[in-house]
């Protein structure tokens, strides 16, 4: 049997055979037979918008791999910074390469004083830290005009280093501003995650010592969130990148998409949902409301995973270790009960709705003391390496500008009516 599809134009009887390559068919072949007839696929549910060698995701089988390495092995044995190197460069670093990478990232964690003083401190005291992050990322492009040299290898590398390195500084700065605490400068003697925790929590002590269990747990969460192929935020990064915008502006576009409650904002929505449910007695009525269409079970369901999200499994194990240090998050029992009820309910099983990465991550963040508003920011810190890996890939592959077609379904042509002759439409 041929590994191909045949498309017949029933108007003319003409047909075209298109080979199936890598699980897809080339849409340009289709337009040879049917010029001017477009695939209608809003939300890209059945469109592969890119070929990519970064992350392999099989939602049916519950598989997630970065550059071929299973997420379970990376979460157990690697560190976020090593994973960031892997995503950007395509291979795990040698000891020498890793030392250079660590050094470069560590020495680019500082931000320009004007970014802090004029931009970050200029926000209203109750500004959402994700709003601060999105805007500050965009503003950074004006501080690094060399970032526009996107085809200059050295300039590109410098921006990649800067963006990965400055994310924790911007994230912690956004938090400190929102709680009225003084900004804490990066400490070059600390590793990536401990440095972030120091900038978050340091008060008057000469040196902030992060709890190693919590620092490692956060590093694992960073590994799990580093990339997830063509999700909404990464697609925003690639679309802006395809116009050859500088990487700071592209990253601001990606972070904007991540901000939404259907995407990176879901972990925040999970905690708000669990808090609203409040007690075990309210779990069943809540599930009934969801089934009746009164809102969604946050942290459940995924466009691609129709099986247990492999990241959710690892996060659940990480949660146990964190709770041994912090004490159990009182919302955990409600979450466990919700999961148990949903996974045995036909509404959820028939739609193949399983817990996603956000269902348990918020519980860990909350137990660690992060305010709810910081949850999406915590997602954005490591996702920067994934965004940049995709940005580099699309430039290296010289992809054309993203410019989809539309099916116009508005008014047909009509004549302009002078204002004094118009009637209000219903």
Going by their DSSP bridges, the two strands 24-25 and 55-58 should be labelled as unpaired
Q: Per the structure block, which two tokens stand in for 50?
A: 């890119």
353 scored as a contact of ligand ACO (CB under 6 A): yes
Residues 81, 120, 240, 290: which binds ligand ACO (CB under 6 A)? 290
254 scored as a contact of ligand ACO (CB under 6 A): no
The rounded Cα 97 to chain-centroid distance in angstroms is 27
Cβ closest to ligand ACO, residue 117 vs residue 262: 262
**Cα-Cα-Cα-Cα dihedral sign, residues 62, 68, 73, 76:** negative
Cβ closest to ligand ACO, residue 210 vs residue 269: 269
Q: How far is the CB of 286 from ligand ACO (least distance, A)?
A: 11
- Which entry of 89, 112, 263, 333 is annotated as an active-site residue? 263
302 scored as a contact of ligand ACO (CB under 6 A): yes
Residues 266, 273, 283, 331: which binds ligand ACO (CB under 6 A)? 266
Cβ closest to ligand ACO, residue 50 vs residue 353: 353
Q: How far is the CB of 351 from ligand ACO (least distance, A)?
A: 4
Q: How far apart are CA 85 and CA 157, in angstroms?
A: 12
Q: How far apart are CA 196 and CA 259, in angstroms?
A: 20
Whether the CB-CB separation of 149 and 155 falls below 8 Å is answered with: yes
303 scored as a contact of ligand ACO (CB under 6 A): yes
Name the one range near ligand ACO by CB under 6 A: 69-77, 126-134, 151-159, 351-359.
351-359
Q: How far apart are CA 42 and CA 47, in angstroms?
A: 9
Strand partners, 7: 16
Coil, helix or strand for 127? coil
Residues 299, 310, 362, 386: which binds ligand ACO (CB under 6 A)? 299
Task: Specify whether 320 is catalytic.
Answer: no
Strand partners, 355: 300
Q: How far is the CB of 256 from ligand ACO (least distance, A)?
A: 14
- Which entry of 358, 390, 415, 420 is annotated as an active-site residue? 358
Q: How far apart are CA 119 and CA 308, in angstroms?
A: 41
Whether the CB-CB separation of 141 and 246 falls below 8 Å is answered with: yes
Name the one range near ligand ACO by CB under 6 A: 114-122, 158-166, 190-198, 290-298.
290-298
Q: How far is the CB of 267 from ligand ACO (least distance, A)?
A: 8
Strand partners, 65: 56, 70
178 scored as a contact of ligand ACO (CB under 6 A): no
301 scored as a contact of ligand ACO (CB under 6 A): yes
- Which entry of 302, 320, 345, 420 is annotated as an active-site residue? 302
Which distant-in-sequence residues (6+ apart) come within 8 Å of 250 by Cβ? 237, 240, 241, 387, 391
Q: How far apart are CA 33 and CA 29, in angstroms?
A: 7
Structure letter (DSSP) for residue 24: E
Q: Per the structure block, which two tokens stand in for 308?
A: 């247990």
Q: Per the structure block, which two tokens stand in for 22?
A: 């890598």
118 scored as a contact of ligand ACO (CB under 6 A): no
Sheet of 4-8: strand order equals 4-8, 15-21, 24-25
311 scored as a contact of ligand ACO (CB under 6 A): no
Q: How far is the CB of 302 from ligand ACO (least distance, A)?
A: 5
Cβ closest to ligand ACO, residue 102 vs residue 263: 263
313 scored as a contact of ligand ACO (CB under 6 A): no
Q: How far apart are CA 158 and CA 377, in angstroms?
A: 23
Q: How many residues bind ligand ACO (CB under 6 A)?
A: 18
Residue ranges of E strands in 34-179: 55-58, 63-66, 69-70
Task: Specify whether 177 is catalytic.
Answer: no
351 scored as a contact of ligand ACO (CB under 6 A): yes
276 scored as a contact of ligand ACO (CB under 6 A): no
Coil, helix or strand for 376? helix
Name the one range near ligand ACO by CB under 6 A: 70-78, 171-179, 249-257, 300-308.
300-308
298 scored as a contact of ligand ACO (CB under 6 A): yes
Task: Specify whether 244 is catalytic.
Answer: no
Residues 300, 360, 370, 391: which binds ligand ACO (CB under 6 A)? 300
Cβ closest to ligand ACO, residue 112 vs residue 296: 296
Cβ closest to ligand ACO, residue 165 vs residue 236: 236
Whether the CB-CB separation of 161 and 104 falls below 8 Å is answered with: yes
For ligand ACO, the binding residues (CB under 6 A) are 262-264, 266, 290, 296-303, 351, 353, 356-358
Query: Which residues does the annotation mark as catalytic?
Result: 263, 302, 358
């Amino acid at each position: 049997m041929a590994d191909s599809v045949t498309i017949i134009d029933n108007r003319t009887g003409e047909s075209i055979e298109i080979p199936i390559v890598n699980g897809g068919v080339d849409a340009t072949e289709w337009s040879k037979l049917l010029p001017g007839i477009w695939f209608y696929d809003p939300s890209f549910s059945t469109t592969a918008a890119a070929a990519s060698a970064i992350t392999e995701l099989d939602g049916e089988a519950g598989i997630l791999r970065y550059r071929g390495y299973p997420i379970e092995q990376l979460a157990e044995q690697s560190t976020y910074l090593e994973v960031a190197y892997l995503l950007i460069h395509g291979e795990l670093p040698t000891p020498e390469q890793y030392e250079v990478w660590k050094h470069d990232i560590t020495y680019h964690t500082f931000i320009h004083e004007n970014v802090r003083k004029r931009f970050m401190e200029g926000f209203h005291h109750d500004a959402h830290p994700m709003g601060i992050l999105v805007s500050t990322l965009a503003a950074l492009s004006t501080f690094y005009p060399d970032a526009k040299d996107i085809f200059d290898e050295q300039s590109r590398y410098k921006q990649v280093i800067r963006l990965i390195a400055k994310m924790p500084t911007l994230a912690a700065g956004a938090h400190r501003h929102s709680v009225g605490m003084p900004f804490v400068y990066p400490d070059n003697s600390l590793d990536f995650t401990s440095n972030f925790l120091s900038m978050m929590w340091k008060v008057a002590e000469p040196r902030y010592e992060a709890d190693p269990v919590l620092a490692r747990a956060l590093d694992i969460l960073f590994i799990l969130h580093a990339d997830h192929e063509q999700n909404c935020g990464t697609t925003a990064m690639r679309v802006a990148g395809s116009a050859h915008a500088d990487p700071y502006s592209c990253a601001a576009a990606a972070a904007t998409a991540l901000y939404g409650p259907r995407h990176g904002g879901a972990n925040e929505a999970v905690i708000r949902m669990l808090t609203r449910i409040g007690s075990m007695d309210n779990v069943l009525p809540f599930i009934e409301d969801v089934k009746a269409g009164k809102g969604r079970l946050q942290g459940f369901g995924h466009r691609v995973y129709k099986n247990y999200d492999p990241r959710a499994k690892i996060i659940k194990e990480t949660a146990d270790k964190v709770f041994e240090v912090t004490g159990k998050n009182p919302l955990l029992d409600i979450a466990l009960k919700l999961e148990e009820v949903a996974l045995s309910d036909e509404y959820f099983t028939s739609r193949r709705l399983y817990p996603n990465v956000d269902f348990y991550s918020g519980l860990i963040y909350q137990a660690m003391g992060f305010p709810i508003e910081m949850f999406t920011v915590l997602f954005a810190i490591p996702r920067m390496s994934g965004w940049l890996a995709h940005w580099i890939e699309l430039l290296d592959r010289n992809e054309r500008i993203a410019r989809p077609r539309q099916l116009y379904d508005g008014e047909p042509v009509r004549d302009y009516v002078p204002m004094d002759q118009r009637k209000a439409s219903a």
